[in-house]
Each structure stands twice: as C-alpha cells, then as structure tokens.
C-alpha cells in the first residue's frame, strides 16, 4: 500500500505546474455565469488547449495527453492549487466526451472533440424537465423520426451553462408507450441556436443566469448526432456513474486548494480563542485529505479492473456536503463582510449550495447507497 506517484505521473504534474505558473491569469476572470465572464472563460479554454492542458485524460489524437486517472488527479491538484479559472467546458469534457469515446462513432469524435477542447463549442446538459427531476425517467420531451434524422419537441430545464453555451446533449423519448419509463429513450446532441430552439436564461439565487430553460419546437437533429443506438439512451447516460466519470465531476484537487485557502484565512482572521471555529477549519483540512485518499483508493481499484458503480454516490454526497460546510466556515470567518455578494467566497458559497441538488439529488444518492451498497429493500421514494 503506497501513495507514490509513478515517474510518468510526476512528470505530468511538474510540467503542468510550470505551464500554469506562466499562464494562469493574475487577476480572477469575471464570473463564469455572466456574458463577459463566459467569453473570458472560453478564451481561457483556448489558451489551455494551446498548452495541451484542456483535456489531459483524452487520447492524444483528440488533443489530450492520454493521462490515466492518477495523471488526471495530479493535474487537477496542480490546476486548482494554481488558482486557475473554473472550467466552462466541464460538462462537455468530463461528461459528453467520455460518452462519445465509449459509445460514439469515429466521425462524431473527430467532429465534436476538437472544437470542444479548444472552447469553440461549449456544451450544456439537457436532462431535467419540469416534470422529470429526480425521477428523470419520467421525461416527456420527444424525438420523432423524420427524413434523415429526428424532430425534437418539448422542454428541458435547469440546464447549466445553457444561457451562453453553443450546443447541448441529453436524452429524449423516441418510442411512445415503451414498457418501462427508461426504455425507448435516445441520447442525442443539438444546437442551442438551431431553428425551433428558444433558450430562456434563469437567474440562480444570486441573480446570475447560471442555467436556463430550453424550449424545443420540431428542432431537426441529423442521424449523425445520435449517440449509440436509438432506444439505448438511458443505459448510455447511466453508464456515466459506472466508471471513472463517477469520480471526475469534482476532483479532490478543488477541495485541497479550497481547504488551503480557508486555513490561510483562519490564520489571518480567526480568533485563536474560538475553538469551535478552529474545529471546523480542521474538519475542512481533514475532509479534503479524506476525499483525496478515498479517490486514490477508488482509482487504485479502477486501475486494477474493478468497476466503481454505486460508490460514486458516496463520493457525491460527501463532496457536496463538504463544499457547503467549507464555505459556511469561510463566511463565518469574514464576520460582517460575510454578507457581501461580491467576494470569491460568496460566489463559491452560492455555487456550493447547488451541489446537493444537481447531478442526482443527495436524497436519490442516499437511496442508491442504502439499496445497492447496504442491500436494504426498495421502498417508496
């Protein structure tokens, strides 16, 4: 049992650190969830691509470095420790791209991955609908067969990044009256500025349009933009939790960096006599290390050929709760300035608040943990 990195991983880490030191902007970019900030983050993606750092885990032929999970984890630690900007292309790079690599065609990979890696095409997710949130399989948006493709109609909502993004991916009902709700669904891609698409930005709690509703009225999608076989959309989408993608939504590096900043804030602004607050700072340090080591164990098992499956639900419940607690502690250290909305801690806090809701609510995740890891009987949700 060891925590040593291979020479290959170490070399990647050292190169990443050097590049980031020379390229990370001196001043924070404007908020990702504003038009101006979105454009600045898109430009940053292009700069990352120029250095070969926008998608380190992809194969080299698509602009990646072919890094394994340990390489990706090391890169992420360096990335967040360097204070680099949030990733506007994360939806595409960590969710759509692995799906294309596993289920897409060579033509799709060639056409989609390059522009994604360069930030030329930013992708939004289109999963939730007004009547299909936690019960995602209840979705109603449909794709109807037409000459050479499909016609999409319906409504998607809570689509992160969709206010400013270019394209979106999601699952749609292609067989009416299927035997079970998660049958007859198809995974496909469409343009957010295609004819028949209306995007209505939605302000999150702090007013920034971090997500949007998408209205679809007979939007044409060519067959070339269907991923995998029609009718297999649920299986393809859910595979995202069964492999390394369950680990890659939020990397330990984010939280190690955040815990370091919190500790620095506490040393600067904390009252040494306030041991209750001190304990919460310590919990942030402990939690970041726990998450780093938990992920190292998962990555070790994955490298040995194991599939990860429902343990990604433990992972998600952990980081989402952790992120909120860390930011609450930071706000408590800021005292009267905690109320200000124009600070990085405040922005991080608002971002963290959504964690237990998106990517499968923590209630759904706890059901999965109880039923699939502990073997408890299914019951009413």
Segment near other proteins (CB under 8 A), from 105-113, 123-131, 236-244, 264-272? 264-272
The DSSP letter of residue 185 is E
Contact between 244 and other proteins by CB under 8 A: the answer reads no
Among 86, 104, 184, 246, binds other proteins (CB under 8 A): 86
Nearer CB in complex with other proteins: 14/144? 14
Choose, by CB under 8 A, the member of 288, 308, 359, 360 that binds other proteins: 288
Instruction: State the DSSP H helix or E strand holding residue 31, giving kind and residue range, or none if neither.
Output: none
**CB 163 to other proteins: min, Å:** 13
In order, the DSSP letters of 98-133 are HHHHHHS-HHHHHHHHHHHHTTSS-EEEE--BTTBS
Indicate whether 134 belongs to the interface with other proteins (CB under 8 A): no
d(CA 48, CA 281): 32
Of the listed pieces 122-130, 132-140, 237-245, 251-259, which binds other proteins according to CB under 8 A? 251-259
Contact code string over 22-61 relative to other proteins, x by CB under 8 A: --xxxxxxxxxx---x---x--------------------
148's CB contacts (< 8 A; 6+ apart) are 222, 223
Q: Is 15 in the site for other proteins (CB under 8 A)?
A: no
Q: Is 211 in the site for other proteins (CB under 8 A)?
A: no
Q: Is 335 left (phi over 0), alpha (psi -120 to 50) or beta?
A: left
Among 115, 194, 197, 300, interactor with other proteins by CB under 8 A: 300
Q: Which CB, 9 or 159, lies closer to other proteins?
A: 9
Q: Which residues are catalytic?
A: 244
Write down the least CB distance from residue 336 to other proteins, Å.
11
N- to C-terminal Cα separation, the chain: 40
Q: Which of 285, 324, 325, 357 binds other proteins (CB under 8 A)?
A: 285
Q: Residue 352, interface with other proteins (CB under 8 A)? A: yes
Residues 6+ apart with CB under 8 A from 143: 150, 151, 152, 172, 173, 174, 186, 188, 221
> In sequence order, what DSSP letters do the residues of 114-183 get, joined into one string?
HHHHTTSS-EEEE--BTTBSSSGGG---EEEEETTEEEEEEEEEEEETTTT-SEEEEEEE-STT-SSTTS
Which of 22, 107, 147, 342 lies at the binding interface for other proteins (CB under 8 A)? Answer: 342
């Amino acid at each position: 049992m060891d925590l040593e990195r291979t020479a290959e991983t170490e070399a990647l880490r050292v190169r990443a650190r050097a590049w980031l030191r020379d390229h990370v902007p001196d001043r924070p970019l404007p908020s990702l969830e504003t038009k101006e900030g979105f454009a600045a983050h898109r430009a940053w993606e292009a700069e990352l691509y120029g250095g070969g750092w926008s998608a380190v885990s992809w194969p080299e032929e698509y602009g990646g470095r072919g890094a394994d999970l340990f390489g990706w984890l090391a890169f992420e630690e360096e990335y967040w420790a360097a204070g680099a900007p949030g990733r506007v292309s994360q939806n595409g790079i960590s969710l759509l791209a692995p799906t294309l690599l596993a289920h897409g065609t060579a033509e799709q990979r060639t056409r989609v991955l390059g522009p994604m890696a360069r930030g030329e095409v930013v992708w939004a997710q289109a999963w939730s609908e007004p009547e299909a949130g936690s019960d995602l399989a209840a979705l109603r948006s449909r794709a109807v067969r037409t000459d050479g493709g499909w016609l999409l109609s319906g409504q998607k909502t809570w689509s992160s990044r969709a206010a400013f993004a270019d394209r979106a991916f999601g699952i749609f009902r292609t067989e009416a009256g299927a035997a079970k709700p998660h049958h007859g669904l198809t995974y496909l891609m469409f343009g957010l500025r295609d004819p028949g698409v209306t995007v209505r930005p939605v302000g999150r709690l702090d007013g920034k349009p971090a997500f949007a509703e998408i209205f679809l009225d007979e939007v044409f999608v060519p067959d070339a933009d269907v991923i995998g076989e029609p009718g297999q959309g649920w299986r393809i989408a859910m595979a995202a939790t069964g492999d390394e993608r369950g680990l890659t939504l939020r990397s330990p590096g984010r939280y190690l960096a955040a815990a370091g900043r919190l500790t620095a804030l506490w040393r600067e602004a904390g009252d040494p006599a306030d041991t209750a607050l001190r304990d919460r700072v310590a919990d942030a340090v402990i939690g970041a290390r726990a998450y780093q080591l938990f992920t190292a164990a998962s990555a070790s098992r994955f490298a040995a050929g194991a599939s990860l499956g429902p343990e990604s639900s433990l992972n998600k419940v952990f980081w989402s709760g952790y992120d909120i607690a860390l930011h609450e502690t930071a706000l408590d250290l800021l005292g009267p300035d905690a109320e200000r909305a124009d600070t990085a801690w405040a922005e991080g806090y608002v971002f963290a608040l959504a964690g237990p809701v998106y990517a499968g609510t923590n209630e759904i995740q706890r059901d999965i943990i109880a039923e699939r890891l502990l073997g408890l009987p299914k019951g009413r949700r």
